[in-house]
Structure 1
Amino acid sequence: MNRREFISISGATLWGLSACSRENFVEGPIVDSGSGIRWRRHEQSGLFETVSMDGHSLVHSEEGVGLVDGFCSIVEEGKPGREVRLTTGQSQGKCGPIRISLDHRVQSSTRDSSDDLLEATLTLQSLAEKPCQVYCGFLSGVRPCRNVDDQQVYVPISAAGLGDPENDKRRRMKDCHQTVRPDGFLAHYLEPQACDPHHSTTRVPLLAPVVDLFAENGPCRVAFFGSSTEPIFFQAKEGDSFRAWRLGRLVRLEPGLSQVVRVFLFIHSGDAAEAWSFFHQFGHKEDFPAVSWTNEVRVHYYDFLSSVAENGPRGGGYDLDLGHFGEFHVGLATQHGYYLSYGDFIHPDRKEWKAMPNDTAGPVTMTLEKIRARVDATRKAGVHPGIYMHYTILDEGSPLFEKMRDSIRVDANGNPTPFGWEGPDVIKKTWRMSHTSDAWRDHLIRQAQWIMELFNPDAIVLDETFSAWGYDYHKGHGGPLSRGGIELMRKLRQVVRSFGPDKALLASDCSMANFCLWGDGEAGDHCYDRLLGHELYRKPPIRYMAALGSKAWLPCAWLYKSLWPAQVDLARKVGAAVSVTNGWGDAFGLTRLPEDAREQMLRDIETMVK
């Protein structure tokens, strides 16, 4: 499915209730959708107990698990206790001091479609006098085939493992198309520690909380999906007969408060991309309307404070390349490498500084006015200007370092975590900062505010947002990084949009994470053999579209010449932009390209802009 064919998600609510009126919710013991889908409701509880497609039952009651049952157990000292099950015959109960209830609603995924979507909710109410942790979720006997071992899945697996060697101990799966093996199947969305009391690592990290099931000659496909903001795991061969799917998470309940856990069951006849599109409609909430200009960009120019001449002093390459923006149909141009140090990008009182302190040709004198002038010249050329920020790194050489030291991410052994980047823009050592830290999030928000105030770019382009997946073991503010990463993305986007409805925040997930969900698109450097160059990275349905949806994909490509065919292939499959760059990697810019490469690029770009 092409990016522009995805259903628009602007205005969709988190649980999708705005997409269907109350009249869409069905009543009565038997619901025949008219498209072959038939739901049967339990007469006493009102929950749905079976569903069939063209006369083929998708639930096998003799296996001991219904359409979508609920489960709950109290976690003590990290271990779940006795599991309480809710079924169509018993939809309410208690699990220790927690009152629990299960509900189902069947609705149409679109106003014109049949009743093809079931929403299951598990309501938890704490009667305890102190906070408690609950392991809870759903068990489903639904599958598109009679034999449990005939199930196949297509899931949007993070591309982080594509470059792993065959003997890698993590054994991360690479292909999105998998079979349910004799030992089952287990996938996690966001950090495993946040949803699964039995696992702290995962072989299948998901870019979206969607699992699409199918089988050879099956009557339909079945998809499960959850909320974009909540960790969840999907596990096959669970339940009493080891044939059901378990969808679970961990919930912390405060005394006297309630929480609702939701999942959706979608029956369809498309491919996984269809399930992804309805996840965006029902499982994700957009904070702002879409920015229109980003989807019009066909070429993204990215400059790492490049030089005019090969191996010459840095600083003038951007200005030279700007004269060729029109010829290459550049739509977005991003300034990178301009800053004093990583994490300490800009300050309104710092009018002049030395950038690129460790470059072999010497540092570059930069000023606020020079950056502002390039933004203005870019806009005058009819191109949208972007400014770079990194999501995670702080340079030890920054004057801010001692103040921010406590925000460094801590590993499982209690050690501060270095980042490892040692480029020409580094003063000393780089450290991996934690998105669980309020101080680090507040600092980056302030940096974004200054960048927008001082330079008025059309976009802030974040780098390596995928670094906000993981776990911080800091004793004070530790926990899953994604929770703080999501909050930071939403607040940064709020800052950027406060300067105008057409201002954009672009993530850098590189198909290894999904923070584009809370931004306006993606602009990360994925142009390496282990990512864009890997054939599975571009295998349709392309995995990252599960997270990106209809938003713009405007990658950076430092190896833009070396992997040009792969760039073009992706662009033609999903409408992504291609990238041309200067100052790193291939480092030809737009003026020093070999003539044959230049001519090929221009021919390919012309086919994209028509």
Structure 2
Amino acid sequence: MNRREFLSASGAALWGVARALGEEANTGIRWQRRSDSRLFQGVAVDGRPLVLPDEGVGLFDGFCRTIEDGKLGREIVFGGDRPSGECGPVAISLEHRLLSFTGGKEDLLEATLTLRSRADRPCEVFCGFLTGARPSPDAGDQQVYVPISASGLRDPADDKRRRMKDCRQAVGSEGFLCHYLEPQASDPRQSTTRASLLAPVVDVFADGGPCHIALFSSSTEPVLFQALQGPSSKAWRVARRVRLEPNETHVFTAWLLLHQGDATEAWKAFHRFGHKEDFPDIVWPHDVRVHYYDFLSAATADGPRGGGYDLDLKHFGEFHVGMATQHGYYLSYGDFIHPDRKEWKAMPTDAAGAVPMTIEKIKARVDATRKAGVHPAIYMHYTILDEGSPLFESMRDSILVDANGTPTPFGWEGPDVIKKTWRMSPASPQWRDHLVQQARWIMELFNPDAIVLDETFTALGYDHHKTHGGPLSVGGIELMRQLRATVRSFGPDKALFASDCSMGNLCLWGDGEAGDHCYDRLLGHELYRKPPIRYMAALGEKAWLPCAWLFKSLWPAQVDLARKVAAAVGVTNGWGDNLGLARLPQDARQQMLKDIEMLVRS
């Protein structure tokens, strides 16, 4: 059974319960709609109203505030009998549409805010939606389950950032605030967040409540969700900032779902309504149970690098390897390959010496991998460029600039580094064009079945470059879509994998995940694997084929995750445990083979 079948089967089992509950409860959903504005103003579940009177906020109102010099103007609210109006130079209209998500029942309300600038110069507004709907009379009794980034799981207790760790949080008297993508792209007053979301979804519930209420928005736009808002400080706010050119029109859409399941129901609705796939799904990644990753490893423990892949390849069948990725093969980070560069020295600073590499050697390994019945993949990094690359000087202007105007180093100092590594900016068109060309050359020269991108979570943040600066996610998403289109142009079964490691969400624009999360601070942390598993909000039903440099050390955690969500397990060579398949201790080999057989059968 592959991963997609696993999710469908396990989902069907849960769906049977949720559907039975949903059919009973959904017959009790009663929406209230005004005849004049055609806006919905209330809803009750089994006779229990979710919007209480006299709180000053309706079911799904719109709001807008002008932004001048970073300061917010007076809030204008649209809803009830007022579906349209003005906020400064911006004309605004609000529309509602009732949709079906669960079993054909009308359980999803779509709200659309249309903004049109009538100014003769660019203007900016803070806008979005307010909902008085909640599952409990007391707003402080609400709880949320949100797909929080795993970045802060190992933060010490005295960390000043106070980043949230558990996806389940109480609203309480202090409220709750979370952000999707860069915080300052949603609200000019905020540059940091305690809760960075992997998907723009908040699932709200309460003990004894009649249902869950999920709020979500589009995958491509930044947004914040905040509790205890509105005139009575009891409503939820869904908001972002919008910049409008003269006469420009912008549409902001959000959804409110009523359901009887857990947060996974909200995530499914988000993937159906809030995200659009650029390409059809590919079948073969779902069949991969084991992902082999090689960092140009050595054939012996302390020997020169370069022969480990060929030695391990003989064991691919025994370990049920389904995909094998070549890493470390390049001249330098960011400057991976060039058709005119026929040979070069890889791993230039390795203690055992550099490794002579050629285009033909990589092609031969791709061919041998495919002959072994395994899908060959090639590594690329999303944001690193080595100062030792011949391209560095021409690319210098694409280095990420911090708030002080200083170019940002990346910090990686491995054996594959010539000089110093720099963090390149996805906001730079030059860097995006460069990586797309690199991907095209890799596909043309080697014909792999996939490209595996490393550390795609670095496409989140802010570039303060004077010319192309701004939120990184805009360029990061665009780059991911360009790379996927480039890879897919070589065949309908060619795949592009992200490396979010539950700290980002660019897998939304790829064919799955193949990042290295096998560390105590991530996979080894119990909250990382706590159901509903947070990364599934972004990954959905796409393939999860992790790399695992500490594959032996954290093997039980790998198997635990694989059992819960049908993720693949990773085996590696050349870094971390640095054992590969041929040199595994016998006891570890026997346990892994036993567990892999179990995963394949299940």
| Offset at residue 599 of structure 1 (A) | 0.2
Aligned match for 2:578, one of 573, 581, 587: 587
**Equivalent pair of 2:402/2:463 in contact (CA under 8 Å):** yes
Does residue 601 of structure 1 match 2:586? Answer: no
**Equivalent pair of 2:6/2:566 in contact (CA under 8 Å):** no
Partner of 1:562: 553
> Which amino acid is 2:518 matched to?
C
* Distance change >3 Å, CA 131–CA 213, structure 1 → 2: same
* Runs of 4+, deviation exceeding 3 Å: 2-8
Partner of 1:82: 74
Structure 2 counterparts to residues 162-201 of structure 1, below 5 A? 162-201=153-192
Equivalent residue pairs, number: 585
> Which amino acid is 1:193 matched to?
Q
SS in structure 1 at match of 2:310: helix
Partner of 1:158: 149
Does residue 49 of structure 1 match 2:58? Answer: no
Structure 2 counterparts to residues 400-549 of structure 1, below 5 A? 400-549=391-540
**Equivalent pair of 2:384/2:410 in contact (CA under 8 Å):** yes
Q: Tell me the TM-score normalised to structure 1 length.
A: 0.95
**Equivalent pair of 1:299/1:329 in contact (CA under 8 Å):** yes
Aligned match for 1:328, one of 310, 319, 324: 319
Aligned match for 1:291, one of 273, 282, 286: 282
| Offset at residue 338 of structure 1 (A) | 0.1
**Equivalent pair of 2:67/2:125 in contact (CA under 8 Å):** yes
| Offset at residue 74 of structure 1 (A) | 1.3
Aligned match for 2:369, one of 378, 381, 389: 378
Aligned match for 2:567, one of 569, 572, 576: 576
Q: What is the rounded CA distance, in whole Å, between the counterparts of 1:265 and 1:425 in structure 2?
A: 49
Q: What is the rounded CA distance, in whole Å, between the counterparts of 1:185 and 1:314 in structure 2?
A: 51
Q: What is the rounded CA distance, in whole Å, between the counterparts of 2:415 and 2:300 in structure 1?
A: 17
Q: What is the rounded CA distance, in whole Å, between the counterparts of 2:326 and 2:49 in structure 1?
A: 57
**Equivalent pair of 1:471/1:481 in contact (CA under 8 Å):** yes
Q: What is the rounded CA distance, in whole Å, between the counterparts of 1:422 and 1:195 in structure 2?
A: 35
SS in structure 2 at match of 1:347: coil
**Equivalent pair of 2:182/2:460 in contact (CA under 8 Å):** yes
**Equivalent pair of 1:213/1:223 in contact (CA under 8 Å):** yes
Partner of 1:94: 86
Aligned match for 2:65, one of 62, 73, 90: 73
Aligned match for 1:338, one of 329, 337, 347: 329
Partner of 1:310: 301
Partner of 1:204: 195
Unmatched tracts of structure 2, length 5 or more: 10-23
* Distance change >3 Å, CA 46–CA 252, structure 1 → 2: same
SS in structure 2 at match of 1:290: coil
More divergent stretch after superposition (118-127 vs 78-87): 78-87
Aligned match for 1:149, one of 120, 136, 140: 140
Q: What is the rounded CA distance, in whole Å, between the counterparts of 2:88 and 2:291 in structure 1?
A: 56
Aligned match for 2:106, one of 100, 115, 134: 115
> Which amino acid is 1:94 matched to?
E
**Equivalent pair of 1:73/1:82 in contact (CA under 8 Å):** yes
> Which amino acid is 1:69 matched to?
D
Superposed CA deviations along residues 276-311 of structure 1, whole A, max 9, x for unmatched, are 011000000000000100000000000000000001
> Which amino acid is 1:64 matched to?
G
More divergent stretch after superposition (196-205 vs 316-325): 196-205
More divergent stretch after superposition (518-527 vs 76-85): 76-85
* Distance change >3 Å, CA 3–CA 65, structure 1 → 2: farther
Partner of 1:396: 387
* Distance change >3 Å, CA 214–CA 556, structure 1 → 2: same
Q: What is the rounded CA distance, in whole Å, between the counterparts of 1:357 and 1:339 in structure 2?
A: 10
Q: What is the rounded CA distance, in whole Å, between the counterparts of 1:295 and 1:116 in structure 2?
A: 31
| Offset at residue 107 of structure 1 (A) | 1.2
Superposed CA deviations along residues 319-353 of structure 1, whole A, max 9, x for unmatched, are 00000000000000000000000000000000000
Partner of 1:272: 263
> Which amino acid is 1:355 matched to?
A
Q: What is the rounded CA distance, in whole Å, between the counterparts of 1:309 and 1:81 in structure 2?
A: 67
Superposed CA deviations along residues 544-584 of structure 1, whole A, max 9, x for unmatched, are 00000000000000000000000000000000000000000
* Distance change >3 Å, CA 5–CA 214, structure 1 → 2: farther
Superposed CA deviations along residues 186-234 of structure 1, whole A, max 9, x for unmatched, are 0000000111122110000000000000000111000000000000000
Superposed CA deviations along residues 366-405 of structure 1, whole A, max 9, x for unmatched, are 0000000000000000000000000000000000000000
Partner of 1:127: 118
| Offset at residue 83 of structure 1 (A) | 1.4
Structure 2 counterparts to residues 28-39 of structure 1, below 5 A? 35-39=27-31
Does residue 349 of structure 1 match 2:340? Answer: yes
Unmatched tracts of structure 1, length 5 or more: 9-31
Q: Tell me the TM-score normalised to structure 2 length.
A: 0.96
- RMSD value, Cα: 1.2
Partner of 1:21: none
Q: What is the rounded CA distance, in whole Å, between the counterparts of 2:5 and 2:421 in structure 1?
A: 39
SS in structure 1 at match of 2:508: helix
| Offset at residue 178 of structure 1 (A) | 0.3
Does residue 61 of structure 1 match 2:46? Answer: no
Partner of 2:15: none
Superposed CA deviations along residues 82-106 of structure 1, whole A, max 9, x for unmatched, are 2111121211111111110111111
* Distance change >3 Å, CA 72–CA 345, structure 1 → 2: same
